[in-house]
Amino acid sequence: MASIPGIDFHIGLPSSEEHTVSRLSVPSKAHIIKEIIYDPRVLIVLAILHLRTPTSIARKVNPQWLKLEQDLNTFNDPELHSMEQVAALGITKARDLARLFSLMLSGKLFSKQLLERFKTPLIASGIDEILMTPLPKGYGFLYERHPTVEKRWLVGHPGFGGSTVMMDMDEEVVIAYVTNGLKTGMGELTRTYRHLRDAVFECLNKKE
């Protein structure tokens, strides 16, 4: 991926690019309340984040030096940005993230045969051990139900704070939402992402 021209995507940011990075901000209490009113399922996310025991797997996988809280936000530290840590420190823009996934859909990164396997999750039911919620997954992706087409999945990955990339692999459409103003919800529980996603498919349906 590092050799793909014109795509600004980093896992391990060079110090020369640090000036291009927006600082992350966590949601205020008022914003959290607005999110809960819009979708009460956000309460489940809050419970998962704050009510786990110190011995739980979710606590163990998050080191003490990696914090994203109102009074302590280490994610704005340039030294962290330079780390090649794929789970939480990918740095990009929405346009470049969408272009990267578009290249994948076009068959330039993976074969068409492999892409066909990505269309449906390997695990479609059951409770995820970390997030304690149903989480369809497979091949390194997470899946969400298509908002307008029955029995079709969107394929991609939500991120902490609401940033999300999803593909409709049949329509060859990529939706990328990247935000530095973090939200409480993730994936389709993120109001701004869900509005964007639904608007995209509403436009596609009108075109048909």
Q: H or E element: which one contains 176?
A: strand 173-177
Query: For the segment 51-76, what is each residue's pLDDT rounded down to a tens digit?
Result: 777 787 777 777 777 777 767 888 99
* C-alpha to C-alpha distance for 135 and 63, rounded to whole angstroms: 23
* C-alpha to C-alpha distance for 96 and 156, rounded to whole angstroms: 15
Is residue 2 within 8 Å of 11, Cβ to Cβ? no
Mapping DSSP onto H, E and C, the string for the chain reads CCCCCCCCEEECCCHHHHHHCCCCECCCHHHHHHHHHHCCCHHHHHHHHHCCCCCCHHHHCCCCCCCECCCCEHHHCHHHHCCCCCCCCEEECHHHHHHHHHHHHCCCCCCHHHHHHHCCCCECCCECCCCCCECCEECCEEEEECCCCCCCEEEEEECCCCCEEEEECCCCEEEEECCCECCCCCHHHCHHHHHHHHHHHHHHHHHC
Query: For the segment 130-164, what is each residue's pLDDT rounded down to a tens digit?
Result: 777 888 999 999 999 999 999 999 999 999 899 99
- Output the pLDDT for position 3: 63
Q: Mean pLDDT of residues grouped by 10 in the chain (208 residues)?
A: 77 94 93 93 84 76 75 88 90 95 93 95 86 88 95 94 96 96 92 95 84
SS3 11: strand
Domain limits, the chain: 24-60+92-207
- Output the pLDDT for position 22: 95
